[in-house]
């Protein structure tokens, strides 16, 4: 599967959007697709699917890829856990969300990430940690916010063993679907790390065979 993905410049990438319910996964996905921002919360039932094609220049390989994202937006409520596990299979990347105004959603990232790596069928794969609702950063109405350096330090901690072993890094980025901050960037950064990981492992295989 890894060889086939980078056999040309047109590639298909399955990713999952994961994190607690209400952290903004669906809102960001809809904003990315060009839909109007909605303030009313609608719970995802099981999972929602979307696809979109983007062009991405990957500077390490000096190649422009036409990427078709297959995006599975997974419900975050515990009642849907059995259903969630079905959609991890075959996902080569994940956007892992927490709400910067909700400390519990940050603490639960560990379980979400481990579930993704344990159930996707490929082990440790590229992911991006996404701190959502950054338009509320420093808003006094939300005093118990997760400091930005928490997300950065956690991403750096995860990255340490992965860069040398698997060829990708974990990044932290804050987003706002309402203000359209970094909405496109999260998909571009994740795509770049997925391609880097596949290229890295392809080189390792070639070196072993020579």
CA contacts within 13 A on the Cβ side of 23: 32
Residue 96's H or E segment, with its range, is: strand 93-99
Rg (CA), the chain: 17
> What is the reported pLDDT for 1?
38
> What is the reported pLDDT for 114?
95
Q: Which of 32, 40, 45 is nearest to 83 (CA)?
A: 45
What domain range is 196 assigned to?
A: 2-209
User: Per the structure, how many domains does the chain have?
Assistant: 1
Higher-confidence position of 193 and 43: 193
**pLDDT tens digits, one per residue of 157-209:** 999 999 999 999 999 999 999 999 999 999 999 999 999 999 898 888 777 76
User: Which CATH number fits the domain that encloses residue 27?
Assistant: 3.40.50.300
**pLDDT tens digits, one per residue of 86-132:** 889 999 999 999 999 999 999 999 999 999 999 999 999 999 999 99
Put simply, whether the predicted model's pTM sits higher than 0.75 gets the answer yes
Token pair of 205, please?
Answer: 């295989």
> What is the reported pLDDT for 84?
67
**pLDDT tens digits, one per residue of 60-83:** 889 999 999 999 998 766 555 666
- Least confident residue range of 6-15, 42-51, 74-83, 92-101: 74-83
Q: Which of 100, 160, 104, 84 is nearest to 132 (CA)?
A: 100
> What is the reported pLDDT for 97?
98
> What is the reported pLDDT for 83?
62
* pLDDT at residue 23 is higher than 50: yes
Q: What percent of the chain is helix, strand and coil (3-state, nearest 5)?
A: 40, 25, 35
> What is the reported pLDDT for 30?
92
């Amino acid at each position: 599967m890894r060889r086939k993905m980078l056999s040309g410049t047109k590639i298909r990438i399955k990713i999952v959007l994961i994190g607690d319910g209400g952290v903004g996964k669906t809102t960001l996905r809809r904003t990315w697709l060009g839909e109007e921002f909605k303030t009313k919360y609608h719970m995802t039932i099981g999972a929602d699917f979307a696809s979109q094609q983007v062009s991405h220049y990957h500077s390490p390989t000096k190649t422009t890829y036409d990427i078709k994202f297959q995006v599975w937006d997974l419900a975050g409520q515990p009642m849907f856990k059995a259903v969630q596990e079905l959609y991890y299979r075959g996902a080569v990347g994940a956007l892992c969300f927490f709400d910067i105004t909700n400390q519990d959603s940050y603490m639960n990232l560990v379980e979400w990430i481990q579930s993704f790596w344990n159930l996707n069928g490929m082990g440790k794969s590229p992911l991006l940690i996404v701190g959502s609702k950054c338009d509320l950063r420093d808003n006094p109405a939300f005093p118990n916010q997760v400091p930005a350096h928490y997300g950065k330090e956690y991403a750096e901690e995860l990255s340490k063993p992965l860069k040398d072993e698997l060829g990708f890094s974990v990044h932290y980025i804050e987003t706002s679907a309402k203000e359209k901050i970094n909405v496109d960037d999260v998909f571009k950064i994740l795509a770049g790390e997925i391609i880097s990981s596949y290229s890295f492992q392809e080189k390792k295989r070639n070196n072993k065979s020579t």
